[in-house]
Structure 1
Amino acid sequence: MTSVTVGGIDCGTNSIRLMVATYDGDGFTVDVPRIMRVVRLGQGIDETHRFAADALERTYAACREFADVLREHPVDALRFVATSATRDAENREDFENTVESILGVRPDVIPGTEEARLSFLGATSVVDQLSDGHAQAPYLVVDLGGGSTEVVLGGVGEHAGEVDAAYSMNVGSVRMTERHLVSDPPTEEQIGQASADIDAHIDTAFATVPAGRARTIIGVSGTVTTMTGLAQGLATYDRDAVDGAVVRIDDACATDDRILRMTRAERAQYPVIHPGRIDVIGGGALVWTRVLRRVQQAAADEGHAIDSYIASEHGLLDGIVRDLAVRTFAGRRAA
């Protein structure tokens, strides 16, 4: 056997993604680039702790679409990873059963620590290409999702892909929007309450993750890449322009603040923002600003400065695929 082909599915709070790749022991070839659908699986879950019926149907429709793709691109192994929303859902067994009936694989509901490890693996696997080799370790990878945000420090020493410390915060674009930013546009009081909520979670996270040690921030996820495109002034979303972009933190925070205070109708005028993100991107922008500013402060406290971040299109989904491919390849060779 010279290679294995694997599929990875990342099912988050706001979106679901599929990728298929082949691994030959030396490198990866992407057979099916990321297919992303905004399904809002976590709709209302922060309040109800249950999946809504329409959210489930949107997700099942995407799963059926992915099943069609996988019939055209057979895989040796498939992993369906479910994250924050599914961890919180009381009726997740029904969801798991239906997904298994559609795709033939049961969702793997991973803890935040595993999500952090896989996000770090995906983000750092291409960091040298993204930054032309100029990114400096330790890296702090920030994966800002709909329901949770992972902060992961690592990349030092012989095992550059390994995690030194990680924490998963229960803050994200959907959760903060539904919990606090309920007006259109949000009021200053709501923004203040959301900021305090986010900061309290960051306090807890940074007690575990020494973020001040980081020399490079790598931001992944749809919120980060969308806000990066806006900070760059792109007319439409351009994956190649965003992937690897180095953005000044001051510029990013100014863009975040402007988008946060817009109405939904005003945000809809920006083609860079996916239609499925228009109503929650403000919440994500606020989380991103608070994390960036707190990392800056933590670095300053350690005696060095961070004034920019690197945006990456490579995160949890890449980590799922790479991890599965390497394990499957090793298992086949050992058999």
Structure 2
Amino acid sequence: MVRALFSIGTNSTRLLALGERDRRLAGESRGTRIGTGIGATGTIDPAARERTLAAIDEYVAIARDLRVSAVDAIATSALRRASDGESFAGDVTARLGVAPRILSGTEEASYSFLGATAARAGEREIGVLDVGGGSAELAVDVPSHARQAGAVRETLSLEVGAVRLAERHPALLGARALNSAERHTLNEEARADAAAILAPFGTMRRFEQLVVVGGTAFTAAAMVAGGVRDGITMTRKDTNRLIDGLLGRDLDARKAMPHIRPQRADILPAGLIVVDEACRLLGVDVFTVSEADLLLGYLTSSAFRAVPFGPNR
């Protein structure tokens, strides 16, 4: 059976399709940014709604070509906050035959952990940090225990992500290149803001290895390793070097850098600040980046609803 998961995140709308034995058939991502302005208005921006629905229409066509027989849909931080989320969910249902399941922060953290540790063995505690557009999640457990129990020992979701931090500090977005003094001041201000929200991470149970997932980390890994992303080891020194380099460039210059998708160039410094502040609070200097994340964790779990999908969709 070929099955597919549609995911509506604050910054990106994604598709993951798996075949027999969980063989990856498709992995797509579009920077639709449905979370635009929700913090200020509480509602979904009309243009963002149309971008997101256009991406879903594109993915429906891909699913047809792959002969997908079962689908599900999930949504995260933005739709948790939007007052008109139900109306948008109706538009998605009309296209897929299933309403997107709006995950809680705890669920998001748990499925990210299950996805990121799916191929990991051993009996040591692992922390999985998922930095998205609208929130940051941390889950800690021994992978074998989480798989056997069907639940993760400790999870926490906090309301800060790449899009939300950038909206709170617009100078991060790259309207112009910043000089050294400006970069230092902005960096300190944004870090203090992020740290105040992320502080509860410092009380989480200790672990032996940190795995980071999400578009920010995936992009950073490609920049550090020249295109290679999954399994790359990064340091806080790497993240700080990238932050400073990005803030020293305007948006057009960022978009011209290798391995940065144009739709992520404006919010990447903000996302990296969230990653780095989380690492600082956790006392971690080195982490591993994983391509396997929330989508894999959900799609291969018992939560996947396997709603029939046929050529008439």
Q: TM-score under structure 1 normalisation?
A: 0.82
Deviation by residue 1:238-281 (Cα, 9 ceiling, x = unmatched): 3xx21011223323332233324432233122121101101111
State whether structure 2 residue 263 is matched by structure 1 residue 285: no
Separation in structure 2 between the aligned mates of residue 322 and residue 173 of structure 1, nearest angstrom: 27
Distance 1:270 1:127, change over 3 A: farther
Alignment match, 2:211: 218
CA deviations 1:94-115 (Å, max 9, x no partner) are 1101111112111111111001
How much does 1:5 deviate? 2.9
Q: Quote the offset at 1:36 in angstroms.
A: 1.0
State the partner residue of 1:273.
260
Report the counterpart of residue 299 of structure 1 in structure 2.
none
Amino acid at match of 1:249: R
The answer on 1:173 being equivalent to 2:165 is no
1:86-235 matches, cutoff 5 A: 86-127=79-120, 137-155=124-142, 158-159=145-146, 162-182=151-171, 184=175, 185=177, 187=182, 188-207=184-203, 209-210=204-205, 213-232=206-225, 234=226
Contact 1:152 1:166 in 2 (8 A): yes
- 3-state SS of the aligned residue for 1:166? strand
Indicate whether 1:49 and 2:32 are aligned: no
Q: What is the total number of aligned residue pairs between the two structures?
A: 297
Does structure 1 residue 314 correspond to structure 2 residue 303?
Answer: no
Percent of aligned positions that are identical: 32
CA distance in 1, matches of 2:169, 2:101: 30
1:228 offset after TM fit, Å? 1.5
8 Å Cα contact 2:6-2:56 kept in structure 1: no
* Structure 1: distance between partners of 2:216 and 2:290: 11
Q: Distance in 1 between matches of 2:71 and 2:304?
A: 13
2:13 is aligned with 1:16:
yes
Pick from 74, 80, 83 the counterpart of residue 81 of structure 1. 74
Residue 231 of structure 1, CA deviation: 2.3
Q: Does 1:5 align with 2:11?
A: no
AA aligned to 1:263 is: D
1:141 shift after superposition: 0.4
Superposition RMSD in Å: 2.2
Would the alpha carbon gap of residues 55 and 119 (structure 1) be closer, same or farther in structure 2, given more than 3 Å must change? same
Unaligned runs of 5+ in 2: 307-313
Residues 96 and 311 of structure 1: is their aligned pair in 2 closer, same or farther, counting only changes over 3 Å? same
Matched, 1:28 2:25: no
Q: Partners of 2:165 and 2:254 in 1: how far apart?
A: 17
Instruction: Determine if contact 1:181/1:283 at 8 Å carries over to the other structure.
Output: no
Q: Aligned partners of 2:305, 2:88: CA distance in 1, in Å?
A: 27
- Distance in 2 (CA, whole Å) between partners of 1:316 and 1:285 is 19
Q: 1:195 to 1:22 in 2, by over 3 A?
A: same
Question: TM-score scaled to structure 2, two decimals?
Answer: 0.87
Shift in alpha-carbon separation, 1:17–1:324, aligned structure 2, 3 A: farther
> In the TM superposition, what whole-angstrom CA distance separates every residue of 1:63-121 from its partner, at most 9, and x where no partner exists?
11111122223444311100001111011111101111112111111111001111011
SS at match of 1:127: coil
- When residues 97 and 289 of structure 1 are mapped into structure 2, their CA distance, relative to the original with a 3 A threshold, is same
Aligned 8 A contact 2:239 2:272 in 1: no
Range 163-172 or range 258-267, more displaced: 258-267
> How far apart, in 1, do the equivalents of 2:50 and 2:110 lie?
30
Q: Match of 1:242, SS?
A: coil
Q: Which amino acid aligns with 2:8?
A: C
> Tell me, what secondary structure is at the counterpart of 2:10?
coil
